[in-house]
Amino acid sequence: MEKYDPEAGTRKLSGVFGWIAFLGLLAFSLFHLYTGIFGVLTAQLQRSIHLGFALALIFLLFPARRKNRGKEHHVAWYDLILAIFSVIVGIYWPLMMDDLVLRAGNVTNLDFFVGLVAILLVLEATRRAVGLPITIIAVIFMGYAIFGPYMPGFIAHRGLDLERLVQTMFFTTEGILGTPIAVSSTFIFLFLLFGSFLIKTGVGEYFNDLSIAIAGRSVGGPAKVAVFSSALQGTISGSSVANVVTSGAFTIPMMKNLGYKKEFAGAVEASSSTGGQLMPPVMGAAAFLMVEFIGGGISYWDIAKAAAIPAILYFTGIWIMTHLEAKRIGLRGLTKEEMPNRKEVLKKLYLLLPIIAIIILLMSGMSVIRSALWSIVITVLVSAFRKDTRIGFKGTVDALVDGARSALGVAAATAAAGIIVGVVTKTGLGLKMANGLLDLAGGALLPTLFLTMIAALILGMGSPTTANYVITSTIAAPAIILLGVPDLSAHLFVFYFGIVADITPPVALAAFAAAAISGGEPFKTGVESSKLAISAFIIPYMFVLSPELLMIDTTWTYLIWVVFTAFIGMFAISAGVIGYWMRKMFWIERIVALIAGLCLIYPEKISDIIGLVSFGILLGLQFFHKSEKMRQTGK
């Protein structure tokens, strides 16, 4: 975790500073519980206090140098100064609220100094807690804002002086205190807290046990366990790397013991864990940002509902590929002795009640904040059913502290993303880039989608999904929308590729983390991960070309047909990629299988007919050759 996830490498503090950090994290969670229960504060107050907490705690917990992560046991003097400045930045708006409102944009020398310090603190905190890529991008955007008149061609603009830039970034709700951190300081924090409480009840472990009970005995069982448990783990973890480490420490050794190659075992876990952020009801943090960015009365439940079929298709593709690979190399499932006691597993089914509860609450139309709060309460109540899952006072405090700790990286990323959004808004860069993309693609949809995909994958290398989504949704998504694509389809398109970047070489953090556990070669693991997650590179194109997959403007009968053909298509693509069905496939069969799969996933009458006929021919050939082989061998 510390090697591949920047958010995991914190100091191991003890003594006075250990207590300060502990109390700070606890206060951070209590502040959000208070505002969640009694009402969110005014925008600038809620967001600036959230920012101040996050910055101060980052400087206390994250050392300046990466190589010291997990090793330092004290706070350096300069970090203490930065933490104090962070507190000042956090309380500046609450203390000066009346004056700042009355001045309405007129920045004093003190305002300018505090705003400039806030920007510098955000950049440094982001570098420590999130990583260098997003920090560099934020700096480049600020440079673009200042040096706009010297930019070439259509991206040139009048430019902002330093004072106007600082004023925009910290004294409006268009910069650091903009939409990204607004979502972080309300929805995201409470859902991270919900995830922390789920972990304390042992739900993470239970997901593994339940997955083994369901899939462990089948062919290549441990790989299927990894797919199933990672889909469930996505409910409590918004990080691909964290998901890999949590479930992979258990599933990867099991896969290796059964005979899977190191790289394939790591790839199964990496691709499954990355997809956890795509799986409703609780998706990655960027999904909450989508609610605000799309607007127009769309709710989080609308997004989760739309993402359901694509997410199921994604995991179905990985599941089928692991099954076919296991058959190809002749792997068995787990023995009865290796399986957990099913009765004991079923006795703990009640641990899924909080997950069921949050689905029902979101479906009922309850606000996201209230849904998260009630889900936390239900988690605590459910944990009391049995002694071994009971949280208690100490467990509750630990969950509050851990939840706050997991929110630090998200807060830093959304603050840095706010800088990018502020520049895009102030300079009109979003529309300029959208028009530029359209010109480059000749106004055609498929080339525009392809260029957008490349942009999302490049921006996602080493960057958190949250920041990636903010950038691509403000720069690239408008280009797709200008071509008449529904807003939800366009935003989910960039959301998907921002997540898939975690397993796409050359920088595939989730795959590298899996390789560290499996002992495989990191780059090869990344290539295998991309192969297993091939559906994630296809499905976004399909739901843009045909929004019916997102349940937009469709009937139930047509939706059932679309899903049916899409599942058959995923099977055909999986067989084509692995090169095995009932027997080893010839290269021409693999090509036909891939074409048939693509035709079936694309919901259109002619393509469905072509796909089904091709699939039927392949099925017949497989049966014929298998029967012939059985006749020759006398079996």
For residues 190 and 285, the answer to whether their CB atoms sit within 8 Å is: no
**Average of per-residue pLDDT values in the chain:** 85
In this structure, what DSSP letter does residue 42 have? P
pLDDT above 70: residue 1: no
pLDDT above 80: residue 487: yes
> Could you tell me which of 313, 276, 88 has the C-alpha nearest to residue 195?
276
Residues 561-580 have a mean pLDDT of 88
Supply the pLDDT for residue 80: 95
> Could you tell me which of 535, 551, 496, 95 has the C-alpha nearest to residue 309?
551
For residues 424 and 168, the answer to whether their CB atoms sit within 8 Å is: no
Supply the pLDDT for residue 635: 53
- Dihedral sign (CA 527, 529, 531, 537): negative
**What is the per-residue pLDDT across 165-221, written as a single tens digit (0 to 9) for each?**
999 999 998 899 998 899 889 888 998 898 888 888 887 677 777 877 877 777 777
* Coil, strand or helix at 5: coil
The pLDDT > 70 percentage for the chain reads 93
Query: Which residue did the predictor score with more confidence, 336 or 52?
Result: 52
* Coil, strand or helix at 584: strand
Which DSSP string corresponds to 273-334?
HHHGGGSSSS--HHHHHHHHHH-TT--HHHHHHHHHHHHHHHHHHHHHHHHHHHHHHT----
Tokens of 354: 């909080």
**Spatial CB neighbours of 393, under 8 Å, sequence gap ≥ 6:** none
How many CA atoms are closer than 13 Å to the CA of 128, on its beta-carbon side?
A: 27
**What is the per-residue pLDDT across 462-482, written as a single tens digit (0 to 9) for each?**
667 777 788 888 888 888 988
CA atoms of 349 and 207, how far apart (whole Å): 10
Supply the pLDDT for residue 514: 86
Query: What are the backbone angles phi and psi of residue 554, rounded to the nearest 5°?
Result: -140, 165
Supply the pLDDT for residue 104: 72
**What is the per-residue pLDDT across 11-65, written as a single tens digit (0 to 9) for each?**
888 889 999 999 999 999 999 999 999 999 999 999 999 999 999 999 999 998 8
Tokens of 376: 């936390």
Burial-class residue 38 by CB neighbours within 10 Å (0-12, 13-18, 19+): exposed
pTM of the predicted model, to two decimals? 0.82
**Spatial CB neighbours of 446, under 8 Å, sequence gap ≥ 6:** 541
**What is the per-residue pLDDT across 260-294, written as a single tens digit (0 to 9) for each?**
788 888 888 888 888 878 888 777 777 888 888 88
The pLDDT > 90 percentage for the chain reads 26
Supply the pLDDT for residue 233: 67
CA atoms of 272 and 532, how far apart (whole Å): 9
- Dihedral sign (CA 231, 236, 241, 247): negative
15 φ/ψ sector (left φ>0, alpha ψ -120 to 50, else beta): left
Angle in degrees, CA 496, 502, 505, rounded to 5? 115
Supply the pLDDT for residue 245: 73
**What is the per-residue pLDDT across 442-462, written as a single tens digit (0 to 9) for each?**
888 889 999 888 888 887 776
Query: Reduced to 3 DSSP states, what percent helix, strand and coil does the chain have, rounded to the nearest 5?
Result: 75, 0, 20
**Cβ atoms within 10 A of the Cβ of 543, count?**
28
For residues 193 and 372, the answer to whether their CB atoms sit within 8 Å is: yes
> Could you tell me which of 187, 271, 254 has the C-alpha nearest to residue 526?
271
Q: Which residues pair with 580 in a beta bridge?
A: 584
Supply the pLDDT for residue 559: 84
Angle in degrees, CA 119, 120, 123, rounded to 5? 85
Query: What are the backbone angles phi and psi of residue 584, rounded to the nearest 5°?
Result: -65, 135
